[in-house]
Amino acid sequence: MAHPVVYRGDMAALIKEWDAKYRKAWEENGWGGIRSLKIANGQCARLPQELTSVGHTSRWQPGERVVDVARTLKPGTVIANFLFEYDKMWYPNSHGWHAALFVKGEDYSTATGKPNKIIMFDQWTGKAPTLRPVHNWPPHTEKTKEPANIANDFFVVMVP
């Protein structure tokens, strides 16, 4: 049966560790130092793959939408965007699609109870591992964004 994958360490300590690395890299080498910070090869999917047992992206399946379960979702849960194509949802592993570790939801709507943004710990080529907020957008604005920048487009990653 498929199940979510969660970082087993102390998420707050992990964030603190990478924040210290970020500050040190900046002090020593500016942007060049920050750009050199990465987990594995620096690709977004490598961060959860290195820090959890989530495994290869071909195993990944979409679970619940993150904004629907953010209040109860454990920090460190692997999340990602999935593409619906050919009657199946899959992780495309290409530009504009993303994978990360969930940290928390923020700015909860009193009307829906859902967060207007989620905070994730992520990286991508040229961007060091750090916290990043991802917002929900009005429909007319959402159309101009890539899935990696839309909170509503993130799902809990499930693996067999």
The domain spans of the chain are 3-159
Distance (Å, whole) CA 41 – CA 97? 17
The token pair at 47 is: 């961060």
Distance (Å, whole) CA 47 – CA 94? 15
> Over the stretch 3-18, which tens digit does the pLDDT of each residue have?
999 999 999 999 999 9
Q: pTM of the predicted model, to two decimals?
A: 0.93
Q: What is the DSSP string of 36-95?
A: T--STTS-TTHHHHHHSS---GGG-EEEEEHHHHTTTPPTTBEEE--EEETTEEE---ST
Amino acid (1-letter code) at residue 19: D
> Over the stretch 55-87, which tens digit does the pLDDT of each residue have?
999 999 999 999 999 999 999 999 999 998 888
> Over the stretch 85-112, which tens digit does the pLDDT of each residue have?
888 888 887 788 999 999 999 999 999 9
**CA nearest neighbour of 25 among 122, 98, 129, 114:** 129
